[in-house]
Amino acid sequence: MDLTQLPPPEVEETLDFEAILAKRKATLISYYQEDQQAAIAATLELESEPLNKMLQENAYNEMILRARINDAAKQTLLAFASGTTLDHVAGEYEIKRLLVTPGDPSATPPIEPVYESDDRLRMRCQMAYEGMATAGPVNAYKFHALSASAEVADVAVDSPTPGTVRVTILSPAGQPSADTLNLVEQALSAEDVRPLCDLVAVEPAQIKPYAVDATLNAIGLGKEQAIAAAKDAMAKTAAAYYRVGATVPLSAIYAALHQPGIDSVTLRAPLTDVTCTAQQAAKLTSINID
């Protein structure tokens, strides 16, 4: 499930400064005698009135407080939680954030440890219930492989022959190291993970490199900014398709390069979709845009 496609949670209140200010004015007016209320209301219509300024300041502070309450309420939800708050949400799934690199506090300057990203941890939380299955479903193998090491960027699972489960591992930098493959193999060989009759083979993904070479024709001024935006969009597109077995459509490359301010795109490479087999992953190696 794509959590970003869910509707806004009802716990999130819509903030309206003018509505808060109007309510505060109405409350203040109600504190006066009826024969004084009209005069007070007229006074509060004056922008220069100190009392009005005070109510505006109070209303603004109330809106800031409500925004903080909105944020705090949303942080209890998996879709919005971040940082250490997400760690606590993940704890409800019995999942702990993985360590990528330990860092070195004795170095000068000290090197901070690097941990699994929020997005990756959130994805593993979504898959947690799949990991409880013992019948060997695809997502169970994926969950345990992703939980074995933070160096696992993607996992593909298939069965080339009856009784054999092939688990293909992709790392952020490309082919995974032997240590990463060993960690995954150990995790998938646990008695409470692997079905008795399954023979699990853990293999590295085959990297299929590709380069993007294009000329962007800009409209008017701002070509440098348009090219920078295109490079950034292309990098994000490449990251989105950096998965085992995923094909990079040519249309996605054109869409990434055709940013606002670009009149047309002349693409020299690639000239077709970057297709991958079930064990390959397409990796962008260079972007040349002029």
The predicted pLDDT at position 196 comes to 61
Q: By percentage, how much of the chain surpasses pLDDT 70?
A: 97
Instruction: Provide mean pLDDT across the span 211-216.
Output: 95
The predicted pLDDT at position 276 comes to 96
The predicted pLDDT at position 134 comes to 63
Q: Does residue 155 carry a pLDDT above 90?
A: yes
For the stretch 43-77, pLDDT in tens is 998 888 899 999 999 999 999 999 999 999 999 99
Instruction: Provide mean pLDDT across the span 241-261.
Output: 95
Which residue, among 87, 64, 61, 65, has the nearest Cα to 75 in the 3D structure?
A: 87
The predicted pLDDT at position 129 comes to 85
Domains of the chain: 3-74 (no CATH), 127-204 (3.30.300), 206-289 (no CATH)
The predicted pLDDT at position 136 comes to 67
Q: Does residue 253 carry a pLDDT above 90?
A: yes
The predicted pLDDT at position 198 comes to 75
- Residue 143, SS3 per DSSP: helix
Please state, in angstroms and rounded to a whole number, the distance separating the CA atoms of residues 91 and 84. Answer: 11
pTM: 0.74
The predicted pLDDT at position 124 comes to 93
The runs of H, that is alpha helices, within the chain are 17-30, 34-44, 50-74, 83-91, 118-126, 138-148, 178-188, 223-240, 250-257
For the stretch 90-110, pLDDT in tens is 999 999 999 999 988 988 899
| Contact indicator for 51, 44 with CB cutoff of 8 Å | yes
| Contact indicator for 86, 118 with CB cutoff of 8 Å | yes
> How open is the CA angle 13-14-20, to the nearest 5 degrees?
100
Please state, in angstroms and rounded to a whole number, the distance separating the CA atoms of residues 289 and 212. Answer: 8
Q: What is the mean pLDDT of the chain?
A: 91
For the stretch 7-46, pLDDT in tens is 989 999 999 999 999 999 999 999 999 999 999 999 998 8
The predicted pLDDT at position 56 comes to 94
Q: Does residue 267 carry a pLDDT above 90?
A: yes
Instruction: Provide mean pLDDT across the span 125-142.
Output: 82
For the stretch 180-205, pLDDT in tens is 999 999 998 876 676 666 788 999 99
Q: Does residue 83 carry a pLDDT above 60?
A: yes
Higher pLDDT, 4 or 268: 268
